[in-house]
Amino acid sequence: MRMLMSTAIAAAMATPIAAQNACEAFLEAPAVGSWVEYDMQGNGQSARSRIAVVGTETRDGRELTWYEMSFDAAGQSGVMKMLAEGGFYHAMANKKIEEMIIKGEGQPAMKFSGAMVERMQSQMSSDPASEFGKKCEDAERVGVESVTVPAGTFEAVHFRVASGGSPGDAWIVEGMPFGMIKWTGSGGESVELVDRGDDAVTQITETPMEMPGG
């Protein structure tokens, strides 16, 4: 289970984030039902992830969002569901996860507290997405470009981060849920939008097992 959780977190964090006017594009959560699917390439490997908004919840006066990501990466597949504050990429970069539910293929769903998730993240090496997120305010706006990805052709804002541990380029579509349609990193890694929609529902319907140690 530890390996599965590490893979799930790594898959989520592998989705790069970018800035639009000091990161404002990623501060708010998309509408419930919104989903995007990405193809990711890097280090001679490929992965597919689908990120969705499947619900909201209020805790201690704070509006929180249930995000769900199904993934097929590093030879493992499953579903990860996270309760977080703010936008998905912003929450991941700033470790604002209240709790997480993970269901691996053929395994029961297991629930982890935010403290457990944070401990797991602290034991993982730094990844391009979180580093890019921390530096998104320094992203340079290159201009508006017509970009074609498997999901279609879009007018997107091109941003570039040249410094730090994750230099690269991101293309963001204003007003689109989750925003990013393409990313290319200096190491040859890439992410492209392959599909999107507004009809997402949770894939985890069973009551998860509470994991000790939270």
pLDDT: is 182 or 187 the higher one? Answer: 182
pTM for the full predicted model: 0.81
Question: How far out from the chain centre does Cα 210 lie?
Answer: 24
Domain borders along the chain are 2-204
| pLDDT of 65 | 94
Confidence label for 2 from pLDDT (cuts 50, 70 and 90): very low
* Contact between residue 206 and residue 108 where contact means Cβ atoms under 8 Å apart: yes
In sequence order, what are the residues at sequence separation of 6 or more whose Cβ sits closer than 8 angstroms to the Cβ of residue 47? Answer: 11, 14, 39, 40, 41, 71, 72, 73, 74
- Answer yes or no: is pLDDT of 14 > 80: no
Cross-strand partners of 53: 67
- What residue type is 189 in one-letter code? E
**Radius of gyration (Cα) for the chain, nearest Å?**
16
CATH of the domain spanning 2-204: 2.50.20
CA distance 133 to 129: 6
pLDDT tens profile 144-178: 999 999 999 999 989 888 766 667 888 888 888 88
Decide if 12 contacts 40 (C-beta within 8 A). Answer: no
- Provide the edge-to-edge strand list for the sheet that holds 152-161: 140-149, 152-161, 168-172, 180-185, 190-197, 35-42, 45-59, 62-73, 76-84, 97-104, 110-113, 209-210
